[in-house]
Chains A and B, each alone.
Chain A
Amino acid sequence: MRLLRTLLGDWPAYLWSGWGALASLLLLFAGWQLAAEHYGSLVLAQPLEAFASLGRFWAEGSAVQELAITGRRALSGLALALLIGSALGLAAGVSMTASMMSRPLVTVLLGMPPIAWLVLAMLWFGASDGTPVFTVFVAAFPVVFIGALQGTRTLDGQLREMARTLHLPPHLMVLDVYLPHLFSYLFPAWVAALGMSWKIVIMAELLASQDGVGAALAITRSHLDSAGTLAWVSAVVGLLLAIEYLLLEPLKREVERWREPS
């Protein structure tokens, strides 16, 4: 509750600090505009054309609908990866043997291209939600797992000894000692996993689903609709930016308040 209150309280100041970020985004749009003018609308639609298409999708109601479907799939896969990856990574980090055994397995998982998982998932789950959710999970899992594993292994041994002499029960050991330290490793991993999950869910939908943003992209591609394609891309990227900067970043600042210099 206190967390929520300070989060909301710090928001205006935080948003005000976003002008710099906004300026760099506008520069990107300017570059996009230049490229579009140079190559013509068929190859690269102008930003305003893309936004107009997005407005049309929005008015039709398809934007919200498709984004909701895609969001649900990406977030379910991501949530699974975060939960299972963090828990297993923590467990593996506590035991030397487990971390040594899991490292090569995770490297294999990391090296496996998501598209290969997608093909397998299509065989296993068909055209259901299972295909994109599984692909997202399996791609995001190793990233989160490695973060949790490294965080756990780097906990200061002196603090662990201190906690042992205080006879801290196991659940407090996790909550008060491991998790706060782990957070600075987990958080970047979670952000990376979030970005991956959006990219991969759209790829999976493009190839294996009848609905969602990926499927909508497949349709705009078949119509050679450059403005429509870019409209979907901007919607997805915009949503990702909003989640990261409006939700995750303020959360991180609050949880990591102890790092601030006096």
Chain B
Amino acid sequence: MSHPRLEVRQLAHSFVRTQVLADISFTLSAGEVCALVGPSGCGKTTLLHLCNGLLDVQDGGIANGFANPVTLFQQPRLLPWKTAQGNIALSLKARGVPRARREAAAIRLAARLGLSRDDLDKFPRQLSGGMQSRVALARALLPEPDLLLLDEPFAALDIGLKTELYALLQQLQAERGMAVLMITHDLMEAVRLSDRILLMAAEPGRIVGRFALAQPRAQRDDAWVYRTTAELLQERVVRDSFGLPDAVAVQPAGQPATLSVLPDSSLDAPPRSPSRC
């Protein structure tokens, strides 16, 4: 089995004369979940569009070894004239899978994501926002991607739905060993879901901090997430990046640190935990 990687090296990008990205380097390996965190307007979406080929690379390089990358956008982006089922199956139709097979696959996956047969016959405008997001998620996952690029796809949903959809996504990620590059400005989300957090700052968009989360994803409970997020918020770079005022450090006594700051030169994933090495 090969181990594909996404390698971004010294990437820079400008729109007309404004530089939006400068010197971005990181690597994403198969099965790894990496979160790009930063304030709005720091070039996260631009970076994602460079990775999925919607924008052409101007400077630096992106080597994408994944055979089957898909993107999940911020909005569901469903075709309004196709039923939910037609929208889901579209990703397989694009690959020339025959109708009977792609429809059957769409129905199977949709059921796992909580879409009934009834919902599948509806047009997008007849579905609620949560249902539309499920359809978009199903469309992205149907071709069994090995790399998933997420542009805050559930940002507009309420916290219950968001948690549910992320749990579904996590299950499928674990089953299939997909690599995930997720964009978010929500630190808690990043802490809950990712193995590694890349912190970005704006003007120009650049990576100013790298953090590894050693705790296996399945063993993260709410308390751990809150504690780690709080810890992350104590970091100077994080506060600077989001423009937060300085704070006094309050590391709870007697508790070991849950995250480790990586040196800027470390582009690759750190060992998850000592026991797994």
Q: Which of B93-117 contact A (CB under 8 A)?
A: 93-96
Q: Are A176 and B77 in contact (CB under 8 A)?
A: no
A262 in contact with B126 given A176-B82, A181-B81 (CB within 8 Å): yes
Q: Are A159 and B79 in contact (CB under 8 A)?
A: yes
Main secondary structure of the interface of B (DSSP, over half): loop
> How far apart sit A42 and B125, CA to CA, in the bound complex (Å)?
58
Q: Specify the chain A residue showing the minimal Cβ separation from B143.
A: A166
A162 in contact with B94 given A258-B123, A262-B126 (CB within 8 Å): no
Q: Are A262 and B125 in contact (CB under 8 A)?
A: yes
B73 to chain A, nearest CB (A): 7
Residues of A within 8 A of B54 (CB): 161, 164-165
Which 4 interchain pairs have the tightest Cβ spacing? A262-B126, A180-B81, A162-B77, A258-B123
Q: Which of B37-93 contact A (CB under 8 A)?
A: 52-54, 70-71, 73, 75, 77, 79-82, 90-91, 93
> How far apart sit A159 and B76, CA to CA, in the bound complex (Å)?
10
Residues of B within 8 A of A168 (CB): 90, 94
CB of B176 closer than 8 Å to a CB of A: no
Residues of A within 8 A of B95 (CB): 167
On A, residues with C-beta under 8 Å from B are 158-159, 161-162, 164-169, 172, 176-177, 180-181, 257-259, 261-262
Residues of B within 8 A of A169 (CB): 94, 96
> How far apart sit A3 and B52, CA to CA, in the bound complex (Å)?
37
Centre residue among B52, B71, B94 by max chain A CB count within 10 A: B94
Q: Are A262 and B122 in contact (CB under 8 A)?
A: yes
Q: Specify the chain A residue showing the minimal Cβ separation from B91.
A: A166
Q: How large is the interface on B (under 10, 10 to 19, 20 to 34, 35 or more residues)?
A: 20 to 34
> How far apart sit A258 and B80, CA to CA, in the bound complex (Å)?
7
A157 to chain B, nearest CB (A): 10
Q: Are A165 and B53 in contact (CB under 8 A)?
A: yes
A180 in contact with B52 given A172-B94, A261-B125 (CB within 8 Å): no
Q: Specify the chain B residue showing the minimal Cβ separation from A261.
A: B125
What would 12 more interface pairs be, CB under 8 Å, given A162-B73, A172-B94, A258-B82? A158-B73, A158-B77, A159-B79, A161-B54, A164-B54, A165-B52, A165-B70, A166-B94, A167-B94, A167-B95, A169-B96, A261-B125
> How far apart sit A258 and B90, CA to CA, in the bound complex (Å)?
17
B155 to chain A, nearest CB (A): 15
Q: Are B90 and A180 in contact (CB under 8 A)?
A: no
Residues of A within 8 A of B73 (CB): 158, 161-162
> How far apart sit A262 and B121, CA to CA, in the bound complex (Å)?
12
A165 in contact with B71 given A176-B90, A262-B126 (CB within 8 Å): yes
> How far apart sit A167 and B97, CA to CA, in the bound complex (Å)?
13
Q: Specify the chain A residue showing the minimal Cβ separation from B52.
A: A165
Q: Are A176 and B122 in contact (CB under 8 A)?
A: no
A180 in contact with B75 given A172-B94, A261-B125 (CB within 8 Å): no
> How far apart sit A257 and B75, CA to CA, in the bound complex (Å)?
23
Q: Specify the chain B residue showing the minimal Cβ separation from A173.
A: B94
Residues of A within 8 A of B75 (CB): 158
Q: Specify the chain A residue showing the minimal Cβ separation from B74.
A: A158
> How far apart sit A145 and B70, CA to CA, in the bound complex (Å)?
35
Q: Are B79 and A177 in contact (CB under 8 A)?
A: yes
Q: Are A258 and B125 in contact (CB under 8 A)?
A: yes
A–B Cβ pairs within 8 angstroms, 25 of them:
A158-B75, A158-B77, A159-B77, A161-B73, A164-B53, A164-B54, A165-B54, A165-B71, A166-B70, A166-B90, A166-B91, A167-B94, A167-B95, A168-B94, A169-B94, A176-B79, A176-B82, A180-B79, A258-B80, A258-B82, A258-B123, A258-B125, A259-B80, A262-B122, A262-B125
> How far apart sit A165 and B80, CA to CA, in the bound complex (Å)?
18
B91 to chain A, nearest CB (A): 5
B199 to chain A, nearest CB (A): 26
Residues of B within 8 A of A181 (CB): 81
Residues of A within 8 A of B125 (CB): 258-259, 261-262
A202 to chain B, nearest CB (A): 37
Residues of A within 8 A of B77 (CB): 158-159, 161-162
A136 to chain B, nearest CB (A): 31
